[in-house]
Amino acid sequence: DTEVTQTPKHLVMGMTNKKSLKCEQHMGHRAMYWYKQKAKKPPELMFVYSYEKLSINESVPSRFSPECPNSSLLNLHLHALQPEDSALYLCASSQDDQNEEKLFFGSGTQLSVL
Amino acid sequence: AQTVTQSQPEMSVQEAETVTLSCTYDTSESDYYLFWYKQPPSRQMILVIRQEAYKQQNATENRFSVNFQKAAKSFSLKISDSQLGDAAMYFCAYRTPNTGNQFYFGTGTSLTVIP
């Protein structure tokens, strides 16, 4: 299994809603990432979990709340989002080995905030 | 600071022809990894090819090869015998062991394949 699975694929939410994005991998990877991507732009790093601990938080607003319940799962909780938060949210994983590194990406959740 | 530059926002190539996408990077590290990722309209990011900086030999993966010039800090991607399925955004990326899990992406090149 070399897949990173993200759900849902599409999400429309209002500014007062609370929703969660989910990500799962079964490759034994110990690092998991959330990226935000606007159209025709590169992915922007939001958060990194390494061995289930938050290791990088790129000054993301608190309306985005990551959670790593175990080594296979990564969630992104959304609350009180703004229309400018509409984007593709990509999850990725890697082995977290300094000598063997590549990112495996999920297919993303396309989020629209109304 | 590490930066990755892709100077070609858009490129086009005739089907079956060869195209080269350019990437330059800025770093003071001697040990690092370089990647090319492809993002088709489905928006799934797919690893195309990977190069370790300590290896002088250029990486190849079937129709994809790189020209890695360490002194010039250049890492170009050559696509041979271009196919319609190669149409996508291509992102160059850089990572060094000293920056932990931080990957640096270029701004991307949109490749069109003309039938």
Q: Rounded to a whole number, what is the distance in Å from the CA of B42 to chain A's nearest CA? A: 8
Residues of chain B positioned with their CB less than 8 A from the CB of A56: 100-102
Cα separation, B11 vs B13, whole angstroms: 7
What string of pLDDT tens digits covers the 114 residues of chain A?
669 999 999 999 998 889 999 999 999 999 999 999 999 899 999 999 989 999 888 889 999 999 999 999 999 999 999 999 999 999 999 986 666 578 999 999 999 999
CB distance A48 to B95 below 8 Å: no
At A62 the pLDDT is 94
Give the pLDDT mean for B12-31.
Answer: 95
Model confidence at B97: pLDDT above 80: no
Are the beta carbons of B101 and A40 separated by less than 8 Å? no
Is beta strand B64-69 parallel, antiparallel or unpaired with respect to B60-61? Answer: antiparallel
Whether the ω angle into residue A8 lies within 30 degrees of 0, i.e. cis, is yes
At B14 the pLDDT is 98
Helix (H) or strand (E) holding B56: none
At B68 the pLDDT is 96
A101 touches chain B (CB under 8 A): yes
Are the beta carbons of A40 and B100 separated by less than 8 Å? no
Query: What's the mean per-residue pLDDT of chain B?
Result: 93
Residue type at position B47 = L
Cα separation, B60 vs A35, whole angstroms: 28
CB distance B73 to B26 below 8 Å: yes
Which residue did the predictor score with more confidence, A97 or B93?
B93
Please give the C-alpha separations between residue A68 and each of A31, A32, A88, A95, B32, in angstroms, as whole numbers.
10, 9, 20, 16, 28
pLDDT digits (tens, 9 = 90+) for B55-91: 889 999 999 999 999 999 999 999 999 999 999 999 9
